[in-house]
Structure 1
């Protein structure tokens, strides 16, 4: 099947989803009112609460939610199950579940002073739900900081060409933010100047690679330590100085990457040679629920609700911006996920012909990992424009840029959740440096000891569980303010059942099927299941009794 045709159909359907279903959610549920002051204005502090220009805030939100997940998920899904079902789930899941989840999580947070989903859960479901939800969200963020930090460190250690563009982006972004917000330089002028500097930094990195003179393992630990220090400092800087402009510029890197990738897809239009479907079982488990968990952020992700209710809701300038940023951000992420799916299913070979073995997807995936597989497939797409080698480097630089944005945004979010949960009666724990350090420390320990690798497989399911729980909280809130909740209740039920089955299978496989039982992983899975059961019980009481006391400001 022609990859360009498949891609165009998917992109058109995603556009229709944004226009019509997103419009329906806006009219029926949100009903934005720009006469209401958002928390960014009412609670302005110049630090975390600060109104952002729509284009800049879209850049921050999209850069933060994207990260590596919408690329790794589709790549791993194609390897295990073929491309067909993954393509369908990316489109359907994004339109009817993921984008609704992101948009309504954002707007419910905006209507509640920019507080997190855990705080909203406390209002509609009780303090017990708030505490448990918040602790689980915080643990998830610590794991995200660890893994993204380690992946970034490994990439810096093994691909010295991306060191300079990675770190030069930071001063470029800060200069851009200062110019736009303090010197009132037009956004268009600042954007063009910053993008030219950023492209120059990519070329400079290509010409001047930075390789530390130590063993690979030592280099990785050094880079990881530096990145943890960076995340600590970046998480407490004013959002207008680094977070907004850096994420905005990162989005342009992605837009350029997507535009060149789509253009390459239309020019080369290779046939999809990966199988549509490889079977109901894989090394990861049965097609359901495994496929949905593997695709993760490409269709729906609980991490997005943490971002929506963490940083984005504190920067929304007016309510009518919410649909573009919340719903639109998820749709754009699904476009990225679909490009990743096509890059490995059409840009590479499932069974490479003689002389093309270096472009065999399964060989690249098994021997060099998903990053190289995606980068190489993307490089073959854009070969007519910039060549395979430079195209592969650009793809990996693009990916690395988004890992960095998710890294420090996750640290800032972990700080928010920690202070909301544990800082109410303690000035020390309210301190932003202390709260950020407490979030960074366990991530640093897990990273340098390698302990995170044993339990990260659970967090695909736990990420989807957060999405299900966030949808339950939003549904309870909508019932409380007498707004239609069917748009969130149905996705909540589907994702809740999916994640519970995924966790039960994980427990079964690691306890019964594994050569040696993995007791620690099983214990963590049981803790996550306990959280889900408690939240379900709380939700049951709420939904059946309909005793939800919230301010009707939705």
Structure 2
């Protein structure tokens, strides 16, 4: 219990201290008009208060991610606490802050366009395809899951449930941001927080003892912590999906100083939610062995329902069902909205249509494959979401690193976590079942070689930008 409470304190302290350092290094300027005013179109650009933006951002980036992912990550034991705390403060929140603020500085640009600015056009083209694929996979996965649950609880068939959810997705993707997202999502974000806090309080006052942190691996299947834990718990530590969602809210901020509260703050809030559910997962069932049995019997949704019903009674069961249905839907619809915005931005030089027709035309090409993928195996979709998600996170961190390098700022705050995540995804793809399924030691060697190569590139970029700085200084002096 001491570790659990201490971890929450560390997350709050990280927001109170490290976020201010990150903000200072970025260099905010409240005198610069934000895109919410300069680009106001009544559709995607519209000014909102920071507290609304924070709750919308939390709901967009979270959904069921910090619940399901944290419960699966709890199989590794209390070491998950270390990853959630360190990942959130030094990687995830930094990633989210820069993805939001760089979008803000460039008229609300989408993630691929920001990548293109700092990593070059080839990187932009590759990440554009990669990001839209990730959005489609997330939207499909977060359609299929709720549809399965609705069909099991009501007379509706799976396909009928699927079409109802998807009709809402289309509506939310094409309506102005302040119609549904701006009005309903702050309320749903508050429910997400209330659900987690209720579980935390009930857990603390129960007779169950939350384990203290150790570096030991308690996974019943003896799966290695590195790099599997870092992919299993993404939402709640660091998630590339967030960099695709931040531009939605960056287009609504009234001033640059709101960015720390909205982007960094929402990630810390997600970290606390993940911490609570990880603690519940490894505590409620008497250890990781019991948790594994519960997951085998009912999956993450069944685990959430059992924990909520037992700790909070009938109300908790209703809250759990509501959460498992509503929360993924609110992530899936913003994923579809993001993919629509990315496609529109990438085709802006070819497409001269403006207004509602442009929104409709760019929604259909991403909506149709999403609907098809939602009809196939949910677990298949989710396996591929994990790796593509963390590759996106690494790319965003490298983008932020290059921004800092080019502007002669302290680049290490992004460069170090970028190297770390490069190591994670480089090793994971060779070892994982959805990857090349190689021997663990061989995967470690290949992953290390790739990471070392990227590190050499990073050092070269540092030397290159220092030399450019010296040359510019010499020219100025001359």
Tell me if TM exceeds 0.5. yes
| Cα separation, 1, equivalents of 2:3 and 2:207 | 10
| Cα separation, 1, equivalents of 2:79 and 2:147 | 33
Aligned residue in 2 for 1:520: none
Aligned residue in 2 for 1:244: 182
Aligned residue in 2 for 1:336: 273
**Residue 22 in 1 paired to residue 16 in 2?**
no
Aligned residue in 1 for 2:131: 137
**Residue 105 in 1 paired to residue 35 in 2?**
no
| Cα separation, 2, equivalents of 1:73 and 1:421 | 32
Matches within 5 A, 1:206-245: 211-212=155-156, 219-245=157-183
Equivalent position to 1:439, from 342, 361, 366 = 366
Q: CA deviation at 1:97?
A: 0.7
Aligned residue in 1 for 2:252: 315
Matches within 5 A, 1:87-102: 87-102=81-96
Deviations 1:490-526 (A, max 9, x none): 000000111110011127975568xxxxxxxxxxxxx
**Residue 34 in 1 paired to residue 30 in 2?**
yes
Give the TM-score normalised by structure 2.
0.88
Task: Specify every segment of 5 or more residues in structure 1 that has no aligned partner in the other structure, as ranges.
Answer: 161-210, 213-218, 353-359, 514-530, 550-554
| Cα separation, 2, equivalents of 1:512 and 1:15 | 40
**Residue 255 in 1 paired to residue 193 in 2?**
yes
CA distance change for structure 1 residues 512 and 110 in 2, over 3 Å: closer, same or farther? closer
Deviations 1:428-456 (A, max 9, x none): 69811121111111111112244x64353
| Cα separation, 2, equivalents of 1:532 and 1:490 | 12
| Cα separation, 2, equivalents of 1:130 and 1:12 | 39
Q: CA deviation at 1:541?
A: 7.1
Give the conservation status (yes or no) of the 8 Å contact 1:274–1:349.
no
SS at match of 1:369: helix
Deviations 1:307-361 (A, max 9, x none): 11x2011111111111111111000001110111122222233399xxxxxxx53
| Cα separation, 2, equivalents of 1:275 and 1:484 | 32
Q: CA deviation at 1:291?
A: 0.9
Matches within 5 A, 1:410-489: 410-427=335-352, 431-450=358-377, 453-454=379-380, 456-489=382-415
Q: What is the count of residue pairs matched by the alignment? A: 461
CA distance change for structure 1 residues 348 and 508 in 2, over 3 Å: closer, same or farther? closer
Q: CA deviation at 1:411?
A: 0.7
**Residue 397 in 1 paired to residue 322 in 2?**
yes
CA distance change for structure 1 residues 414 and 508 in 2, over 3 Å: closer, same or farther? closer
**Residue 9 in 1 paired to residue 3 in 2?**
no
Q: CA deviation at 1:424?
A: 2.3
Deviations 1:171-210 (A, max 9, x none): xxxxxxxxxxxxxxxxxxxxxxxxxxxxxxxxxxxxxxxx
CA distance change for structure 1 residues 423 and 348 in 2, over 3 Å: closer, same or farther? same
Give the TM-score normalised by structure 1.
0.77
Give the conservation status (yes or no) of the 8 Å contact 1:117–1:473.
no
Q: CA deviation at 1:137?
A: 0.4
| Cα separation, 2, equivalents of 1:42 and 1:281 | 52
Aligned residue in 2 for 1:373: 303
CA distance change for structure 1 residues 269 and 416 in 2, over 3 Å: closer, same or farther? farther
Give the conservation status (yes or no) of the 8 Å contact 1:40–1:316.
yes
CA distance change for structure 1 residues 282 and 540 in 2, over 3 Å: closer, same or farther? farther
Aligned residue in 2 for 1:73: 69
CA distance change for structure 1 residues 9 and 273 in 2, over 3 Å: closer, same or farther? closer
Q: CA deviation at 1:255?
A: 2.6
CA distance change for structure 1 residues 347 and 487 in 2, over 3 Å: closer, same or farther? same
Aligned residue in 2 for 1:60: 56
Aligned residue in 1 for 2:476: none
**Residue 361 in 1 paired to residue 288 in 2?**
no
SS at match of 2:294: helix
Give the conservation status (yes or no) of the 8 Å contact 1:343–1:378.
no
SS at match of 1:235: helix
| Cα separation, 2, equivalents of 1:328 and 1:275 | 25
Equivalent position to 2:119, from 125, 128, 143 = 125
Aligned residue in 2 for 1:290: 228
| Cα separation, 1, equivalents of 2:283 and 2:434 | 35
Aligned residue in 1 for 2:284: 347
CA RMSD of aligned residues (A): 3.2
SS at match of 1:311: helix
Task: Specify every segment of 5 or more residues in structure 2 that has no aligned partner in the other structure, as ranges.
Answer: 440-449, 470-478
Equivalent position to 1:148, from 142, 153, 157 = 142
Q: CA deviation at 1:106?
A: 0.8
Q: CA deviation at 1:488?
A: 0.3
**Residue 545 in 1 paired to residue 472 in 2?**
no
Give the conservation status (yes or no) of the 8 Å contact 1:343–1:374.
no
